[in-house]
Chains A and B, each alone.
Chain A
């Protein structure tokens, strides 16, 4: 598997350089003039503030308090498109100024049947709605839980995406030369269940990690083979890399680690009745613990998702999903995990999305709910967004966590329940 991963990476780089050198003969000065005259500048300025509704002794009361300026610069030449999107953030919670380069990439179609996008980019595939199985591109769970725009759930990848198209089937290959983990819950902004301390923790116990970070050795490769047949979208996926959020810890239990992970999956999406239905499945091979005997490393899993969405009234849509994570070596997990910390074999999750548009579609009310009957926990995301005019939008929302137990996926966040408001000026 390592061999094929390297091989594909090599081919990717080769193809990229060949196609680039072919077009590099253009007159540089003319290109530069064209580049500048085609330059397009957009973005937004935003103020967002939020507070915890419950006292959390491990975190600040402010859940979010920031100003953000996003600049989106794009331009093009005959042979390629370019985009740089960056955020400058003044963050009062972490008391720092921050710069987040969201995108910086070049896109070109060197051949009729081939697209190439190289650089920092946001990547998404798969059929789930805020549930991901075969999409192993980095997520920013912290942003998601503290009430940033949903767009920020996707963290950027530094990668090359090669897409090949044919009448028979299409293929996407994404090569990430150095592992891009999730922006996971570390305790910095969100308190969490710390299994070593056997209690909730936060800024007092920020997770330290040992992250695979060697260029071209600790790499990731993801591929999707897909085809549209009568507008039913079929896809096969594979991923070779690491658990994106810490999937275990070292034997001394001092560092969170990102064990090897291979994923194989499939999905289908299309019209069902009056709505859209989707099915997705994935086999998570926790490669560093294939027997399931290592209590410090995530068990292998099967993951399955079924979803359906439909318009149920005027400007009113509803979506329902059922998702399950099934541990494959459960008895081993049970034997090896520290007592009292075993999970259920299956984690069942139901999601419900309700979205209603009002006032000439300038007011959007939405509620997204995750509900786990097995973990007995719930996460609700109500949001109201009003467009005052074509540039200005105001927003009010909350992240509400409930749970019977302090160690379950959403239950651990119950002290992080927060309410937030935002104002965004887009240009």
Chain B
């Protein structure tokens, strides 16, 4: 099997997974007890007419799927509805048009809100991941190279401590530290900044980014460092490293040409999976620093029982995990020739 063939197969599986997630994601919110409209709109003073109007507004008056009259999936409804008029078909149709529905809370299209939030999250994660990967890898390589020396033990201990720190706790500690050192402690910009020159806006953004990024970097850097170190140590004990040494390669050449490419494999997997999950998974950091990202949006949506918002965010997270894994697979087949034929 060649690389192209493998790529097609993986892509097909990814698409299949996403299709499955779409279906599951849709019904997950429909089988939850309670009327979504009721859950989202809690005001007891609403008249039945207003509620009915809201239900129509959010498309909840239509049957979920053919034969399912109400949101309760156990009660079979009339089967004479046009299948094209069911919530599921409409949802899927709208999905392909890029329409994720309307948020109960914001009363705005979900995709617009997610887009804003996603960029903020990507900014935070992107920066944090790049720093974590660079520092973690370099640190891990250095520790493995100096294995079983004081440097290595020092790296191991700091790594383990940093990795076991609860993210929110580290965030709060840094928040205390930052607030007394002139760092803004919440949000992504100082109110009124938009009227200032661009350079000042960027400086302001950098200041706001600093604390959450440092928190993120410390936690993930430690993970990458530990993985890099141990996988590199594994590789360094292989016979082909000894062979390379006996052939007269220098330590640097051995690391560069033989150890790194093989030692990178486990790290690539972990980075890819992390990237996928952290799109929605930096909830703790975003909550502590009130960063207006996707994780924060998710947290708020749960509190507000804003189902369309949750549904959209879940889908986005699922898609990013699938895409990240797809990319990891591709990287793998580039790094390890055995994958192509396997």
Q: Do A and B come from one complex?
A: no
Residues of B near any A CB (own CB < 8 A) = none
Residues of A near any B CB (own CB < 8 A) = none
